[in-house]
Structure 1
Amino acid sequence: MAMRRFLGTYYAYVFLFDFMLAYAIYTALFELKGISIAEIGMLLAFWSASAIVLEMPSGALSDHFDRRVLLVIAPLLKALTFVCWGVANGNFWLYGLGFLFWSAGQALQSGTREALLYERLAEAGRSDEFDNILGRDAAAEGIGIGAGTLFGGLVAHFNMDWAIWLSIPPLLLGAGLAIGLHDNRRTYAADDGETPTTYLSHFADAIGEFRRHADLRFVTVYMAVGLITFELLEEFDQLYYLAVAVPIWLWGVLGGAVELLYAAASVWAHRLSGRPWLAWALPLLGGALLVAASLGDNPWYVLLLELAYVAIAPVAVLAEARFHRIMDGRSRATTTSALVVAQNVAGIAATLMFGFVADWLGILPAYGWAGLAMLPIALWVWLGQRRGMRAID
């Protein structure tokens, strides 16, 4: 009963953290408020860079102190994002400050959340269910994003500023719920009876994890280089919609629908465990769908694009679950934050490359080349498996 109550609170927290009505319109709002496209690009680059800088220090904080406190603070920091944007009225620096608060809030909860979940399951003797429950975690997040996008589009139809201000109440509610997410470690700087734990020692522990476990390095590269492609492409989907003439009123519906389908695929991901060949087969399938979508000359081709995102959902969940199962150290959140840093660094590089290709060849061919990039990635995973490496269980 206690675990059921914990999981219910946990899923609600995950949902509320991403139930942001602003997701549907914030870049468009910036432009309407007088921010140029070049300045928007600078803001997005600053967002990514600040996330990289803050991620591992916040992971070490999580390993050293009460995880619950950080989960309470995280949505409050993210709420300050929308306070800044709500009063900015075209002020570039206030939009930048908002992104800094967003990065700080995201960094505090990213590694913390998964570490807390794994530790609670391990304490209850249910760590073998982690991939199943992590799939539901991804589903709760996806449903939150999808619902926020859908309702944000509807609210913005009447007033875009409302979509910004109404993004704050879910975060305040999430902070309240986090009080019930008890950290089960006996001490927050707990040691193993040999070496005292300090804040800085968590960084050394994380480095040690990657040095000891070749599989951990393999999974990290797989998630940061292979799977991140599909996540970054979503940032360009509105340009794809324009290219294939999807009506603007349908954008929010498409965004919400793909998140719901992604959530469903994440929930069912655990049923595909025990098939390590899916680690190369599903990215290859997703790449083929991207290539097919790049041939589009009418709105129906967008269905191929959305299916590419859904195809990758199961291996994203299973790879993350394997990442946590490989770890054996006491600095779980810091090590997870290192994965997030790797994903952000790879994401920035891939975004710049995709933008260059899209500028040079056009948005549709750029999606096709992104799909073709899955060929060498799938080959690398297949060769790695022949050497005994596994990206998923």
Structure 2
Amino acid sequence: MRGQPIGAPPGVMPEPDLGHHGDVEVGEGLRDLAVNVRQAPMPPWLAEPLAATLADLARYPDPAPARAAVAARHRRPPTEVLLTAGAAEGFVLIAQALRGIRRPVVVHPQFTEPEAALAAAGHRVERVLLDAADGFRLDPARVPADADLVMIGNPTNPTSVLHPAATIAALARPGRVLVVDEAFADTTTAPGVPGEPESLAGRRDLPGLLVLRSLTKTWGLAGLRIGYLLGAADLLARLARVQPLWAVSTPALAAATACASPAAVAAERAIAARLAVDRDHLLARLATLPGVRVAGRPASAFVLLEVPGADRIRLALRDRGWAVRRGDTFPGLGPDWLRVAVRDPATTDAFTEVLAEILEASC
């Protein structure tokens, strides 16, 4: 069932298409700024274990070693890890397993699959719509006290806002399942923090907490489908009961094991540091363009832009060979929003030059 807004900006917007995703924007001959997957060669420590699994595909997958590796990374027992076929499967498991939920709330704008999965399972979803004027920051008081399922992204797609961990943790309470989508947590940095500032992945003291993680973004594994859930063992057991047998393939399990290694974690942190530099470069270039406003304080691998006539500009960019993500399919946004992936400085310079020409021609 469609989400009902608890708090909404002025004006009535059409119901967004929750099934629209950035990959639809990409086409042959287009330079991809629409999909938030890192574009880089696969490192040998990941490519070699993946290739080795091709000789062992006659055997059914055994998730135990990968689950143990992920658990060790997050300092949890293996019973507090559930491997999934991409983070998106986690939303489906939650929606299907938690049939007794009475008042599910999704905090928007955010990735649309949590609400889509709930609606497909027959839940009546309510939306808390964060305000652009406030930088899409979360006020926990906006979430109804009797909501027994709350879903939020951190950092949030598409706004690129990184909420303080304490703010997210304030949503946890007995009798409530709190789902935090941390698909992009490994893209974030902060001075003096060893890695993943504001992540709740290691928290075991918060009642009802479920943290969703993805391995597809930083390591370019969108086609492999691998992610996982972290949470209390009894809650994950409920989700596992509705998961298909052997849901995660042998190659995906090998990827999970490799990406949980200390070498992988160190590489992630180096990539996140480089990403911060590239993001600052993109923000500096965008700041020179009249009529373009960046939402909030971007902290991840993408930025959200408010541009009058954004859909017309998106199509003009497409004609010039560039794919960006439309924003009006996210609840809480409208026709003047675009999401742009952070790429290397050369790509950013080429893109912003074309965008500047389009904006000037439209004046």
- Report the TM-score, using the length of structure 2 for normalisation: 0.30
More helix by share: 1
Normalised to the residue count of structure 1, the TM-score between the two structures is 0.28
Q: Which has the higher strand share?
A: 2
